Amino acid sequence: MRLSRRHPRYASLRVRLRLADAARRGLVVPEGLVAHGRGEAFDYLLGERTTPSARRAARAAALWLLRARRPVLSVNGNVAALAADEVAALQRAVPGLGVEVNLFHRTPARARAIARELRRAGVRDVLGVRPSARIPGLPSDRAQVDARGIAVADLCLIPLEDGDRAEALRRLGKAVISIDLNPLSRTSRAADLPIVDELTRALGAIRRAARRLGPRVRDGRRPPFDAPRALAEALGAIDARLTRAARGPPRRSAR
């Protein structure tokens, strides 16, 4: 399908084409495409931009990551397909950031394909290809993690993660930063620091903030983050946009 750069939703449509292509290559599963569509709807309602509240969350996330002892970024098929370059760039900006393949629908071949995609983008020491530990409280096929990664992490950055796993990580006492466009999802509600923003925008915002902060901020405790407030702000942004949309634009105009 050809896509005009002048299309009002060019960025969103380009992302969708990229994901559909990744699905054809087996990197992304059908359920991942459906999940992406849910995100698209929320992004559309948020105005397809990083809200000021999400920008503050990304800055807080950068500081938390820099101050963590063992931070790990969890990567599933959608994340690898959409943001392998951003994952590599964030790893360069956050010293010691582990990157772990963490799949809901895991097959050894898919885990290897995702690891390849990450390495090709420049990610070093990809974890989780051969899981060596388990998270308690999850069905066995979804509990698998890397003994050198999520299993021992004090802080997990979980983009596009399923609610059960987000809650399981919390129960283990790990600090959890989520990236999820749905402010009502269990993942967003379970997170200590929910970022309600589109994946690549959020990863870019965290990376830029980490670069600006630099290694000099590494010592010190994690400053508190008001998660319920961040979620309420995201709902407020959606609400404001719906209210505007209900007033206009006039019927039958292109949006």
Residues 195-234 that bind its own copies (CB under 8 A): 227-228, 232
Shortest distance in whole angstroms from residue 251 CB to its own copies:
5
Measured from the CB atom, the residue of 32 and 149 that comes closer to its own copies is 32
Q: Which of 34, 109, 220, 224 binds its own copies (CB under 8 A)?
A: 34
Using rule CB under 8 A, residue 11 touches its own copies: no
Beta bridge partners of 157: 73, 177
Rounded to the nearest 5 degrees, what angle is found at the Cα of 24, between the Cα atoms of 21 and 25?
A: 90
Q: Which of 184, 214, 218, 229 binds its own copies (CB under 8 A)?
A: 184
Q: How many angstroms separate the first and last alpha carbons of the chain?
A: 20
Q: Cis peptide before 249, with omega less than 30 degrees from 0?
A: yes
Using rule CB under 8 A, residue 242 touches its own copies: yes
Q: Which of 26, 108, 214, 236 binds its own copies (CB under 8 A)?
A: 236
Instruction: Report the length, in residues, of the chain.
Output: 255
Using rule CB under 8 A, residue 252 touches its own copies: yes
For residue 57, give the H/E element and its range: helix 52-67
Using rule CB under 8 A, residue 245 touches its own copies: yes
Residue 167: how many CB atoms within 10 A of its CB? 18
Using rule CB under 8 A, residue 4 touches its own copies: no
Best CA proximity match to 95, nearest among 225, 217, 221: 217
Using rule CB under 8 A, residue 238 touches its own copies: yes
The residues near 5 (Cβ < 8 Å, ≥ 6 apart) are none
Q: Which residues bind its own copies (CB under 8 A)?
A: 1, 16, 19-20, 23-24, 29-31, 33-42, 44, 105, 167, 170, 182, 184, 186, 189-190, 227-228, 232, 235-236, 238-239, 242-243, 245-246, 251-255
